[in-house]
Structure 1
Amino acid sequence: MTWSIVARDPETGHLGIAVASRFFAVGAIVPSMRGGIGAIATQAFISPLYGTDGLMLLADGQSPESIIATLTDRDDGCQQRQMHLIDGQGRNAAFTGQKCIDWAGHIIDDDVSVAGNMLVGPNVIAETLRVYKETEGTPLPERLLAAMDAGEAAGGDKRGRQSAALKICRDQDYPWLDIRADDHPDPLGELRRLYAVAQERFLHVVETMPTRANPHGLTDRRLIDEKIAALEAARIADGRPSPSFATPLKPA
């Protein structure tokens, strides 16, 4: 019912997952991620435990291949499931059960894997991977979105479109970006709009948040308020409309 890409940026160690499906709220159940530890996509006849337990095993230092063996060996329904994952070092692995609905399969490459089921055909994941690799050097969210657009152009989910999600973790347990289109006729297009909205304010605020290395974060909010105000003024001066649906700000 889904295809997804799981990737690690080797330059930064940042982790990302993008996913799309003709299924409601796919972003609620497919991606599991923890900064510096790893990223897992569980799909087809989903077992959420592949994500939750898989992350615990990654944190314990187990390899992606051994984690797949552990999770599938204990699961009588594993042949209806699919998962792929990568750890904080870039080691990755994938599994596609023999009873996943055609077309189903996966591709593994350096620091990235793509997997899908109930797709138009193998070209969906092949194109997703091709574009991801060709866009090396661009920001990770943009690479993932471009890759998923290519998969959609190749046919995507053979049943149609409904939801999509993009999740990025840097070096913290909480995500740097986590956006979802849960029920939309053009979910990947909606993700692009949400990513544009996130760049107006949200991602700048995230940079100020406390981390384990700096549990205070940025304590002088004037600095970030001034930066956001400058970006907003530049947008207005250029005549660029905001992609946000938010109502106008009311005076405090």
Structure 2
Amino acid sequence: MTYSIVARDPASGQFGIAVASRFFAVGAIVPYMAGGIGAIATQAFISPLYGTDGLKMLQAGASAEEIVTAMTGRDAGSHSRQLHVMDAKGRSAAFTGERCIDWAGHLIAEGVSVAGNMLAGPQVLDATLTAYLAHPQKAFADRLLTAMEAGEAAGGDRRGKQSAALKIVRGEAYPWLDIRADDHPDPLPELRRLLAVAGERYLHVAESLPTSDNVSGMLDRSSVDLKIAELEAERIREGRPSASFATPLF
């Protein structure tokens, strides 16, 4: 009922997961990740413990393969579950239970894995992976969404559409970006809109947040405010409307 991509951006070391499904709020229970640690997507007949316990193993230094083996080996219901994992070194491993509803499967390439179940066919994952690998020049969030859009164009979830999510972590446990369309007739275009909204203000403010290396964060936000003002002025000059539905500030 879901397809997803787990990847590590080689330039920045960021981890990202994008997911789409004909299921409510898929972003609430599929992606698990922490900056500098790794990323996990658990789907099909979901076990959130694959995510929470798998992250603990990643933090302890386990490999992606060790996590897949441990999570599925202890679980009598693994035959109906799907899991793909990327560890801190960018190594991937995946599992598709033999009772996952067709079409179901996974693919792994350098720095990326894709997996899905209840799909229109194997072409969904082929298109998703191909699109990701074909666009290394794109910003990471854009690259992940482009891959998911290609999978949707190839048939996506064979039941239809309902929700989608995109989550990216940098060096921290908290996400740098976490956007979701939980119940929407066309969730991937809605994620595109939300990413555009994030680019107007949110992602620039995110640069000022405290980190483990700087627990006070950016104390002088003037450079952030200037960047936001410059982008807003450029948008107005070009006659582009804001992507946001927010009410005016004044």
The equivalent residue for 1:203 is 203
> How far apart in 2 are the matches of 1:102 and 1:248?
47
- Aligned pairs for 1:151-230 (under 5 A) are 151-230=151-230
> How far apart in 2 are the matches of 1:63 and 1:246?
43
> How far apart in 1 are the matches of 2:84 and 2:221?
40
Deviations, residues 25-50 of structure 1 (Å, cap 9, x unaligned): 00000000100000000000000000
Deviation of 1:91 after TM superposition, in Å, equals 0.7
- Aligned pairs for 1:78-89 (under 5 A) are 78-89=78-89
Deviation of 1:205 after TM superposition, in Å, equals 0.2
Deviation of 1:207 after TM superposition, in Å, equals 0.3
Deviation of 1:12 after TM superposition, in Å, equals 1.5
> How far apart in 2 are the matches of 1:10 and 1:161?
31
> How far apart in 2 are the matches of 1:95 and 1:27?
20
Query: Would you say 1:94 and 2:94 are equivalent positions?
Result: yes
The equivalent residue for 2:138 is 138
Runs of 4+ deviating beyond 2 Å: none
Deviation of 1:225 after TM superposition, in Å, equals 1.9
The equivalent residue for 1:3 is 3
> How far apart in 2 are the matches of 1:30 and 1:225?
34
> How far apart in 2 are the matches of 1:59 and 1:218?
27
- Aligned pairs for 1:33-112 (under 5 A) are 33-112=33-112
TM-score, length basis structure 2: 0.99
The equivalent residue for 1:126 is 126
> How far apart in 2 are the matches of 1:202 and 1:125?
31
TM-score, length basis structure 1: 0.98
Deviations, residues 2-42 of structure 1 (Å, cap 9, x unaligned): 00000001221110000000000000000001000000000
Deviation of 1:133 after TM superposition, in Å, equals 0.2
SS across alignment from 2:212 = coil
Give the aligned CA root-mean-square deviation in angstroms: 0.7
Q: Structure 1 stretches of 5 or more lacking a match? A: none
Deviation of 1:222 after TM superposition, in Å, equals 2.8
Count of equivalent residues: 250
Instruction: Report sequence identity in percent.
Output: 67
Residue type at the aligned position of 2:218: L
